[in-house]
Structure 1
Amino acid sequence: MTVAIGVILPTSTPDPEHPILGDVRASARLAEALGLESVWTSDHLIASAPILDSTVTVATAAAVTDRIRVGFNVMLLALRPVAWAAKQIAALQHVSGNRIVLGVGTGNPAHGDIGWRAAGVAFDGRGARTDEALAVLPDLVTGKPATLSDGLEVTLSPGAELPPILVAGNGDRARRRAAAHADGWIVLRPEPGEIPAARAHLRELAERYGRPVPAITVVAPELPTDVTAAADRLAEYAAAGVERVVLAPSGPDWERDYTFAAELVRR
């Protein structure tokens, strides 16, 4: 089994002292030219460091590329009305030629709740609201009649092809949500040895829901700086059953990081 390699676009960073806000157009073009599988962006209204709007970033990356997949890592569905989110996702599918990958999460508590309060949305209960949104999202995106949580029936037009949905989170709740609603599970910085048990849990949950086992995407793994050692590490993830690895920028020099990722693809 081989592992696909994607990269995070330079639109944010966990470190507020060293924000990474690079050229989205140039970085997306370079990632595609280097043969990488996908580019990704984060999503928050207010985070612990400067961050660009995710939907604008995804649209920009899609507009300047032709082949590479463009993903949300991850969209906070509970932060916005699900019908608006579905409208944006469907439009992005149309303008990108069906290259969107929709990662979904509930929000990292490390960023606090100020962005949620600014949006007029309760921070508590976001997991339950995410489940409610995921239940109706496929019909909304594809243009079928959907009943919202308040009982309103709506149909969005034009519909679009439903993108792959990936649910993010390292815990049991996220795996349950992925098994119930998604095509994949996103996990942050696991060791390769942690993957088999998590994969077995996903398989058990998927059987319970009568759905396929979600594929696994690993984000921001700790890799050696030596390319041969890093390739060996990725081989461990692949052997454990990981489908995709998404590498995060190590700093503002994203060109160097993307070139390193491309060398891993060649290895």
Structure 2
Amino acid sequence: MSVQLGVFLPTSGSRKAESGASDIRDSARLAEESGLESVWATDHLIATQPMLDSTIALTTAAAVTDRIGIGYGAMLLALRPVAWAAKEIATLQQLSNNRVLLGVGTGNPAHGDIGWRAAGVPFVERGTRTDHALAVLPDLIAGKPTTLAPDLDVTLSPGAPVPPILIGGNSSRAHRRAAIHGDAWMPINPALDQLPAAISELRDIAAQHQRPAPAITIVAPTLSTDPYRVADELATYESAGVHRVILAPTGPHWRDYYTFAAALRAAQ
């Protein structure tokens, strides 16, 4: 089976205020027409460049497509009250006919801590808050009774099927989080020669917690520009255990990049 290919939606950049809606609709349709497996949206409250809200962008993409996966790449779960996040995810599952792919991360430090301070969330606590949220998130999404505090039991309604949870991050803590809470690990451009050790660590931790080994999704790998050479490179990733690759954010020239992705899919 060939590696699945996803692409980022053009949700960030200096022109978002002018063309965001049409770009999201057009890019989602083109990705689906090109036979790609999934589209993804980045997520930050305040970033180093303008960025659309991920949930609203993904809802827009879901509304104009029928088949393609709709992915958070990756939701900063700790920025939000977990019940609100679960409500948004469950609703998007319902509206997309269960096409959500839920990437969860703790944020790129390159964007700084201002978004976290604006949300009233301590930047240094983002990892711990993410772990606590992941522990209750599946039951919240599913509409099951969930204890959020010693005196707080809640049930969200309507519930939805829990989407695949992909844990972002390249650190050992991310490995542990993926093995304990995730269906997949989603690192950014890891070195190919380091993948076997990382995958072995994931499997060991998952086995200790009596869970299946996480699948592997790679974000923004360094690839050639020739589709046929890239097809060989993706085959190498597949041999290492990778089942999905998400191509790098596209910027203002996303159409050219989507055309490349479609050619790459045809070359596999």
> What's the TM-score bracket when you normalise by the shorter of the two chains?
over 0.9
Q: Partners in 2 of 1:124 and 1:203 — Cα distance?
A: 28
Q: Partners in 2 of 1:65 and 1:142 — Cα distance?
A: 24
> 1:154 matched to which residue of 2?
154
Q: Secondary structure at the match of 1:185?
A: strand
Deviation of 1:228 (Å): 1.3
> 2:240 matched to which residue of 1?
240
1:30-179 maps to which residues of 2 (within 5 A)? 30-149=30-149, 151-179=151-179
In structure 2, give the amino acid aligned to 1:138. Answer: P
Q: Secondary structure at the match of 2:6?
A: strand
In structure 2, give the amino acid aligned to 1:117. Answer: R
Q: Does 1:29 align with 2:39?
A: no
Deviation of 1:251 (Å): 3.7
Q: Partners in 2 of 1:194 and 1:110 — Cα distance?
A: 23
> 2:189 matched to which residue of 1?
189
Q: Partners in 1 of 2:50 and 2:109 — Cα distance?
A: 16
Contact 1:12 1:20 in 2 (8 A): no
Contact 1:10 1:20 in 2 (8 A): no
Contact 1:227 1:263 in 2 (8 A): yes
Deviation of 1:108 (Å): 1.2
Unmatched 5+ residue regions in structure 1? Answer: none
In structure 1, give the amino acid aligned to 2:24. Answer: V
The structure that is helix-richer by fraction is: 2
Moved more, 247-256 or 137-146: 247-256
Q: Partners in 2 of 1:253 and 1:168 — Cα distance?
A: 26
Q: Root-mean-square deviation (CA), in Å? A: 1.8
Q: Partners in 2 of 1:150 and 1:30 — Cα distance?
A: 48
Q: Secondary structure at the match of 2:74?
A: strand
Describe the shift of the 1:160–1:98 C-alpha distance in structure 2 as closer, same or farther (beyond 3 A).
same
Q: Partners in 1 of 2:15 and 2:52 — Cα distance?
A: 16
Q: Partners in 2 of 1:20 and 1:29 — Cα distance?
A: 19
Q: Partners in 2 of 1:128 and 1:151 — Cα distance?
A: 21
> 1:258 matched to which residue of 2?
258
Q: Secondary structure at the match of 1:137?
A: helix
Q: Partners in 1 of 2:95 and 2:16 — Cα distance?
A: 33
Contact 2:39 2:70 in 1 (8 A): yes
> 1:211 matched to which residue of 2?
211
Contact 1:19 1:49 in 2 (8 A): no
Contact 2:16 2:52 in 1 (8 A): no
Identity %: 63
> 2:224 matched to which residue of 1?
224
Describe the shift of the 1:139–1:90 C-alpha distance in structure 2 as closer, same or farther (beyond 3 A).
same
Q: Partners in 2 of 1:78 and 1:181 — Cα distance?
A: 15
Q: Secondary structure at the match of 1:70?
A: strand
Moved more, 125-134 or 186-195: 186-195
Per-residue CA deviation, residues 191-232 of structure 1 (Å, 9 max, x unaligned), is: 322211111111111101110000000000111111111111
Unmatched 5+ residue regions in structure 2? Answer: none
In structure 1, give the amino acid aligned to 2:243. Answer: E
> 1:201 matched to which residue of 2?
201
Q: Partners in 2 of 1:205 and 1:19 — Cα distance?
A: 44
Give the TM-score taking structure 2 as reference length: 0.95
Q: Secondary structure at the match of 1:253?
A: helix
Q: Secondary structure at the match of 1:188?
A: coil
Q: Secondary structure at the match of 2:252?
A: coil
Deviation of 1:256 (Å): 1.0
Contact 1:20 1:252 in 2 (8 A): no
Deviation of 1:150 (Å): 5.6
Give the TM-score taking structure 1 as reference length: 0.95
Matched positions, count: 265
